[in-house]
A and B are shown apart, each in its own frame.
Chain A
Amino acid sequence: MARMKFYCDPERCIECNACVTACKNENEVPWGVNRRRVVTINDGDEGERSLSVACMHCSDAPCATVCPVDCFYTTQDGVVLHDKDICIGCGYCFYACPFGAPQFPEDGAFATRGKMDKCTFCAGGPEADSSSDEHRKYGSNRLAEGKLPLCAEMCSTKALLAGDADTISEIYRKRVINRSASVMARGVSYRDASFRAPHSASGKSSAKE
């Protein structure tokens, strides 16, 4: 069976946030909830990198370990999903998750946590595939239609890869080899060959000194 994974290539991500928007639209997620977000490290400085993060569908998921009601399960495709009928909205998965994937809509009189919502790898939930219940609770089930998650499918620079771990690691491996080859051809080190202006090119085009 396949083991579904995301991979985001920081050399390609341009922080356009289209994955965030696409996810929000496709899955009709509640207000205040973003299943995916783009984080930029060293924003505006040399070595700036952006990464799109959501649930990484861990093989040994910490959220599933700490859940007091045991509402997580891993599908045959290796996608980590949860059952909103069982979830009590305690927030423990949010504490344990390294990626900050679990999100909580504000709920009740005191704006406490509602039932957790997170990226489903566009694979819906425990309800029958493509049922209206499933769509209402978990959003779209593209995997059941033979499609991959929309965030990765429409990524304009193909920074975000989604699919079987073997396939996407093969794609990424080829990229790394090609980049190394371009290093060879240009005779510069990989550090200088990555996709941003070198020191010397910082003159007229950049407002930043």
Chain B
Amino acid sequence: MAKSIFLQSDNRKMHAGWLLLLLLCFIVQPFDSFANTSESRGIPSAAVLNPAAELWRDVRQREQLTNGTSQVKGVDSGVLINAYGDQWRKFRMQQLIPVGGYLLLGIVIGLALFYLIRGKVAIEGGESDKKLLRYTSYEQLIHWFIASIFLFLAISGLIILFGRPVLIPIMGKEAFSVIASACKEGHNLMGPLFLVALILIFIKFVRRNIYQKGDLSWLLRGGGIIGKKHVPSNFFNMGEKTMFWMLVLVGSVIIASGFVLIFPVFGLGREWMELAHVGHAIGAILVIGVIIGHIYIGTIGMEGAIEGMKTGYCDLNWAKEHHDLWATKAEQQGEVISNDKVSRLRDVSSAQSLGGHVQEE
């Protein structure tokens, strides 16, 4: 009896002392040295109150990989807390969408300003009556093949990326969901075709895109933007070559990361998918920016630039001004043909492509 009373009072005393200590520990928690000394004295410190605090900190922050196991089988099912998810959310919401959006907008506005100031780059010598064969029909075909796939992928990707802030306020969630769903499915279906197209482009154009002597001076003179003089260049100039290599290299990153994103069946965890998404998005924004410039020069930026891809033949004066090393060589080899012959050749080839139904007059 006496013993139990003694114990009780002891307990009460302990209780009060314990509470005091708890309070103390919470106050002095930042001072690690103090906490350590109290622990080494055998008195429970704040860290002891939740014995698993360190474990949960590891699980949550994953400074070291604390993976669990789960009876539910699946990729990452043993990961209790995905610590990188929050970093990925911040990247997408605070960097990718605003920075990417303003970057692309800036490129478009910058090109518009450039067009207003500089205007269309005309063929100085005017259109001549002679032409050069610039691209064969196969080269045109693969160019427009990759171009249409690229445009589709770029537009569908941009809709998925910027649709929520830009399109949902205009059309509402239900209508946008239909478009976004089509974009997602289309993006996934067309994505692998981009790989095929890029391989075809690479094989066909790689030899003409190897950097050569003279490319550096082209770069130093800003490709002719600085000053009014044209800078000599071969079949492709340094800017076109850089665009080619960017498309090949960054495009490969986009394709590889895209495959990771389409096929969760590869068995890669979320960290890989988040990483893949970051690479996919940054690469895509870069390439889209460059291609906007490419489209600008091909359409409204320069007279005669699109002719080679439209008809296969480019104007001789245009070639001499923009690709004079190539044009001079072609001229020497006697590849120059007259306009009349070009139109005759084109009529014949279009007649053939229509299955011979068009009769020559």
Binding site for B on A (CB under 8 A): 10, 15, 17, 20, 32, 34, 37-43, 47, 49, 51, 53, 62, 65-71, 83, 85-92, 94-100, 104, 106, 110-113, 184-185, 189-191, 194
Contact = CB atoms under 8 A, between A and B. Distances in A.
Contacts of A94: 270, 273
B77 to A, nearest CB: 6
A66 B173 CA distance: 15
A90 B281 CA distance: 14
Closest 8 CB pairs of A and B: A37-B72, A39-B68, A86-B177, A191-B51, A41-B68, A88-B181, A96-B89, A34-B72
Nearest to B18: A184
Residue from B80, B82, B86, B262 having most chain A Cβ neighbours under 10 A? B80
Nearest to A111: B265
Contact of B264 (A43, A100, A104, A190): A104
B74 interface: yes
Contacts, number: 144
Contacts of B174: 85-86
A191 B18 contact: no
A42 to B, nearest CB: 7
Nearest to B177: A86
Given A40-B68, A88-B177, 8 more contacts: A47-B55, A62-B85, A68-B180, A88-B180, A98-B83, A111-B265, A112-B188, A190-B51
Contact of B177 (A10, A71, A100): A71
B75 to A, nearest CB: 9
B117 interface: no
Interface stretch (B159-167, B250-258, B352-360): B159-167
19 contacts: A34-B77, A37-B70, A37-B71, A38-B72, A39-B70, A41-B59, A42-B68, A43-B69, A66-B89, A68-B164, A69-B176, A86-B174, A86-B177, A91-B261, A98-B85, A110-B188, A110-B263, A184-B15, A189-B48
**Chain B binding site: helix, strand, loop or mixed by DSSP?**
helix
B160 A68 contact: yes
Nearest to A191: B51
B230 interface: no
B88 interface: yes
Contacts of A92: 92, 277
Interface in B188-232: 188
Interface string B284-316: 000000000000000000000000000000000
A51 B74 contact: no
A115 to B, nearest CB: 9
Contacts of B66: 41
Interface string B17-60: 01000000000000000000000000010001101100100010
A68 B76 CA distance: 23
A17 B277 CA distance: 33
